[in-house]
Amino acid sequence: MNKHLIELDGAEGGGQILRSALSLSMITGTALRIVNIRGRRSRPGLLRQHLTAVRAAVDICGAAVEGDELGSRSLTFRPGTIRGGDYRFAIGSAGSAVLVLQTLLPALLFADGPSSLAISGGTHNPLAPPADFIERSWLPLLRRMGAKVDFELLRHGFMPAGGGELLVRTTPGELQPLHLPEAGAVLSRSARALLAAIPGHVADRELEKVKRHQDWHAASAQVVRLPEDQGPGNALLLEVECEQLTLVFCAFGQSGVSAERVASQALHQADDWRRSGTSVEEHLADQLVLPMALAGGGSFTTPVASDHLLSNCAVIEAFLPVRIDCTAGQAAGQHIRITPT
């Protein structure tokens, strides 16, 4: 382990700073101290999903840790060697299993051997990317970079009950830079409405609203009925397959929100990306900079450089010998470029 310690202020960027910092601490062997964790959130400090990520990271690399308790606003993490193996972690709530996965997966790509990783919790949580985003949008790009990862969604878990489960298998390997100057032509569009213990007319109305949109009238549409014990829950997933990548946009059914409004929320996300003329939508941008930095290079365009993205870039630059430039594009959006220093 490096004797150097990196200290970060966790007020900006929410849990993203914690997740990226834990990944990078494990990979680089650099000790980490985060203060003011989630300091600007209504519920500051470590929540259950953050605590699961911290303790899982401890298991994976044999770290010494201080401050690993619910509500803690500071954390010291001194990593050991990342070990491959069979791991299983439970959040114990509907906290996002996907966000825990995104903390651990980058590190396991640098482990001393293959790994399997099972995480139970929320797989479809309005405050996090859905599992479908990981499977259909993020992981295919990591595989293009050389990552050897298999993903399986074993069980859906919605808010507030949770109970979902993800299974990932990884083999360590070197990552290669990836450049995405454009998405390329749209090859297909599809819409899926997930239902668990929710009346069928909800999905029908969501898909009807989608099909009335000029971009989506020819899209394939599917109602996916899940076992009732995986609910109650509803999610609408819009998928745009392009020549260079696939984009996934999602909105969640909520009490007091009409099915038509849910569809409008997902369509609005897709419209914003299409009008921007950029290669990567905002949420995927947040998740691409870390693997590209670990690969030593990469680039893409995205509609906006969000505070989330900029905070993540600052954390990455604190750990890795890379420079991340965010510049306004010639037409619209932001151009993100990662280069070695």
Q: What residues are annotated to the active site?
A: 308
Q: Are 34 and 17 in contact (CB under 8 A)?
A: yes
Centre a 10 Å sphere on the Cβ of residue 155 and count the other Cβ atoms it contains: 15
- Cite the beta strand spans of the chain per DSSP E: 2-9, 30-35, 64-66, 75-78, 86-90, 115-121, 148-155, 164-171, 178-180, 186-196, 220-225, 233-242, 246-252, 298-302, 322-328, 334-340
Q: Are 73 and 50 in contact (CB under 8 A)?
A: no
Residues 6+ apart with CB under 8 A from 184: 242, 243, 244, 245
94/309 Cα distance (integer angstroms) = 25
208/82 Cα distance (integer angstroms) = 48
Give CA 169 to chain center in angstroms.
17
Taking phi first (over 0 means left), then psi (-120 to 50 degrees means alpha), and beta for anything else, what does residue 91 get? alpha
Amino acid in the structure at residue 294:
L
The two three-digit tokens of residue 146, written as one number: 């050389």
